[in-house]
Amino acid sequence: MGKWNPGEVSPATKTYNVVNKTGKKLNTVDVKKGQRFPPTQSSEYHYE
């Protein structure tokens, strides 16, 4: 499993989890391959 930041390009079409710095799942987002990940509510969040 990888980690991606907002603005990076999605490597695959799938549902990604929005995760905080402690690893807690906060939300999900559907992103298609080649699209950029959308902004998150905090700079400390990332996608998995």
Dihedral in degrees, nearest 10, Cα atoms 26, 18, 21, 11: 160
| Residue 22 pLDDT | 96
Report if residue 28 sits inside a domain: yes
| Residue 39 pLDDT | 97
Report if residue 4 sits inside a domain: no
**In this structure, what token pair is assigned to residue 3?**
């980690």
Report if residue 33 sits inside a domain: yes
**In this structure, what token pair is assigned to residue 34?**
């080649």
Report if residue 2 sits inside a domain: no
pLDDT digits (tens, 9 = 90+) for 16-29: 999 999 999 999 99
Range of the domain at 28: 14-47
pLDDT digits (tens, 9 = 90+) for 29-43: 999 999 999 999 999
* Number of folded domains that form the chain: 1
| pLDDT exceeds cutoff 80 at 1 | no
Report if residue 5 sits inside a domain: no
41 vs 2: CA distance, rounded Å: 20
Looking at the DSSP bridge assignments, the partners of residue 27 are 18
| Residue 33 pLDDT | 98
Report if residue 34 sits inside a domain: yes
